[in-house]
Amino acid sequence: MVRIEHVLDSWRTIRQDSVAAVEDFPAEEFSFRPVPEVSTFGEIARHILNAGHALTGLMLAGDVNFATPDFRERMSRHTVPLAPDAGQPELAAALRESIARRTEALAAQPAEFFSQTMTRMDGQQVTRLEMLQMIKEHELTHRAQLFLYLRMKGIVPSTTRRRMAKGAAK
């Protein structure tokens, strides 16, 4: 059995590492992209913010069908109001504030909330807990992109720094 507290704690940890990546990446290079066909570092970070906030916002609003033609429009009502030219400190703060608000609101939901079935964007039927797990995994995937961009700039991601620090402490 998966416990909601575990999923939320895990998502908070993933988000902390996403925030660390945003803070570690040179602010003047947020427009960096390794090839023209992929998103910039800043676009990925903003996507992490808006996808997690909007998808959970829809869930908390009681939306149970994400496979509708107006899904993107409905989702846009739940994005974080952040100026298009927001810099590194504003984006990091918004990422922190969003995860705090959403995990608090989700933790306050009764167990029945998470067992209710809903329809994902691809039409699959899942429980809300399974949807939350997917949202967390979505961020984990994009966090890996941020980490790759960090590595391309010669910056060691926070997860590796922590692991190296533990090894040095032994």
Q: What is the largest CA-CA distance in the chain?
A: 55
Rounded to 5 degrees, φ, ψ at 111 are -55, -35
C-alpha closest to that of 7 among 132, 105, 158, 99: 132
CA-based angle 17:153:51, to the nearest 5? 40
% the chain with pLDDT above 90? 88
Length of the chain: 170
> Per residue in 52-107, pLDDT tens?
999 999 999 999 999 999 999 999 999 999 998 899 999 999 999 999 999 999 99
Please tell me the distance from the alpha carbon of residue 152 to that of residue 170, in angstroms, as a whole number.
29
Number of domains in the chain: 1
CA dihedral (67, 140, 22, 41) positive or negative: negative
Instruction: Provide the whole-model pTM.
Output: 0.93
Q: Which two tokens stand for residue 135?
A: 């949202």
The CATH number covering residue 11 comes to 1.20.120.450
> Per residue in 1-15, pLDDT tens?
779 999 999 999 999
> Per residue in 18-42, pLDDT tens?
999 999 999 999 999 999 999 999 9
What is the residue range of 28's domain? Answer: 4-169
